[in-house]
Amino acid sequence: MDIPDNRLHDIEKILGAPFYKGPGVSIYCGDCTDILPRLPIATINLTITSPPYNIGKEYEKILDVDEYIAWCEAWICQIYNITQENGSFWLNLGYLSLPDLAKAIPIPYLLWRKIPFYLIQEVVWHYGAGVASWKSYSPRNEKWLWYVKNQYDYTFNLDDVRDPNVKYPNQKKNGKLKCNPLGKNPTDVWEFAKVTSGTNRSSIERTPHPAQFPAALIQRIMLASSNKGDLILDPFIGSGTVAEVGFYLERNVIGIEINPSYASIAAERVENAIKEIKNERMKTNLFEAIES
């Protein structure tokens, strides 16, 4: 993997030695609200993240709703400051309860006027399996909000994420193909299976982290909104999906994680990815030697 990481070296001079350092990946263990203000202005090309939802998960401390929204506003504004002019910010937020007002209100409804980025669109992640509900419809989706810093100038590599599953790929109009040969533009509803747990149904990519994204979902975001060598940030790196995908796609990744146990899980995933690449290269070299 040829990942230029000069900017990571520069950031290490500012932040100090990371908790984990691999090819194109630096993971820092600490509170992102302390670390983000120390990063240089206009450094990050793309941020992909999902903060705690304030619903009582094992990795979060419950805050008053107004306090939680103020906390979100603070770290999002910090990300805005360190994002390059043509950069993007992909945010995943779920639902929380408001006493006497809502059982499950989408957190973005409470945040939308407080985010300095420009909202391009909402993407619905439909994940199939989920919890059952007896007094409401069973939830089967979460939202991703795609923000940019400059509404007129931002990275969007549509050809890199086109859907090849076209019903009539050879249909023509006036002698020209109606559909792009690379495939169609994906819709704003994405079908990616959830990373499940359990003895009999655990996903292959499952880690001990309780809230893990499928790598395929993160890959689509990263391919569309960044280029090779770009600097990607996840201030709540958790299980390390963004770091792992970034390594495979030859991006540079800065991850921040407040929990040392989760930071170790993320580091292990990157290490496993490095080993996989090395093994693939060894196999390739062996086959080439045999053929010659």
Confidence of residue 195 (pLDDT cuts 50, 70, 90): confident
Interstrand relation of 102-106 and 118-126 (parallel, antiparallel or unpaired):
unpaired
Phi and psi of 285, rounded to 5°? -65, -35
Residue 291 scores a pLDDT above 80 = no
User: Between 283 and 198, where is the model more confident?
Assistant: 283
Give me the DSSP letters along 109-158.
Answer: HHHGGG--SEEEEEEEEE-S-----SSSPPP-EEEEEEEES-TTS----G
Tokens of 128: 């199939």
In this prediction, residue 285 carries a pLDDT of 62
| CATH code for the domain defined by 6-291 | 3.40.50.150
User: Between 140 and 120, where is the model more confident?
Assistant: 120
In this prediction, residue 138 carries a pLDDT of 87
The chain-wide mean pLDDT, for the chain, equals 88
Tokens of 139: 């939830």
Question: Exposed/middle/buried for 17, CB within 10 Å: 0-12, 13-18, 19+?
Answer: exposed
Residue 128 scores a pLDDT above 60 = yes
Contact 127, 140 (CB under 8 A): yes
Spell out the residues 6+ positions from residue 39 whose beta carbon is closer than 8 angstroms to its own.
11, 14, 15, 82, 254
- Please name the amino acid found at residue 222: M
112-138: average pLDDT: 89
Closest CA to 31 of 266, 260, 240: 260
Give the pTM: 0.89
Write the pLDDT tens digit of every residue in 34-69.
999 999 999 999 999 999 887 766 766 788 999 999
Tokens of 83: 């994002």
| SS3 of residue 177 by DSSP | strand
Measure Cα distances from 83 to 86, 88, 120, 123, 161 in Å: 8, 8, 16, 21, 23
Only one residue has tokens 């499928």, namely 214
Measure Cα distances from 154 to 94, 185, 219, 246 in Å: 26, 17, 18, 19
Residue 264 scores a pLDDT above 90 = yes
